[in-house]
Amino acid sequence: MTKQTFIGLEAIVQNRELTLSILFSSLIFLVPALVHQQFLTGPIINALLILSFIYLGQSKAFFLALIPSSVALANGLLPVALAPMLPFIMISNCLYIAVFARFYQSKSKLGQNLLTVLLAASLKSLFLFLVAKLIMEGLLVAPLSTRIASMMSWPQMWTALVGGTLALLLQKNLEKIYVSKR
């Protein structure tokens, strides 16, 4: 392989990574800004977080995990009462990615990675529920803190499960398309 060929291949790889970075960051920013339904936004964001890990790596996915909750709060998707939860939502997104990254197997069967999604979604929602229950109860009145704890439990689990499953299905189909066009 000549030096010129190597430089050309390096440019293609860098261009692909830049393109995917722009695509994922744009979508992660725009979805919570434009879609104001949590049961649509949540799965889409969680799918984008998993796909960003798969295609860009863990550190870039961690960075992207900080964006959606800030945009959701700024655009009214996240109620103002949940503002104290913002850093914990960001941490939970990173936890979701980290757990998925730890157990993800790129060459495995879909079922094995679905178990990874289940584990990551469970730990994310458990973390958010515990934070909401323990911290928010000290900051807010009982009816509001109970409602926040409820919002941070099964809805988070559902959106993370659906999003992770969607990401794996998209990845599998993208690989089929990519491999068949070679």
Whole-prediction pTM: 0.85
CA distance 52 to 181: 23
Domain annotation for the chain: domains and CATH numbers: 3-180 (1.10.1760.20)
Identity (one letter) of the amino acid at 144? Answer: L
* 58 token code pair: 């863990």
30-84: pLDDT as tens digits: 998 898 888 999 999 999 999 999 999 999 999 999 999 999 888 887 778 778 8
Determine the average pLDDT of the residues in 146-153. Answer: 74
Contact 180, 57 (CB under 8 A): no
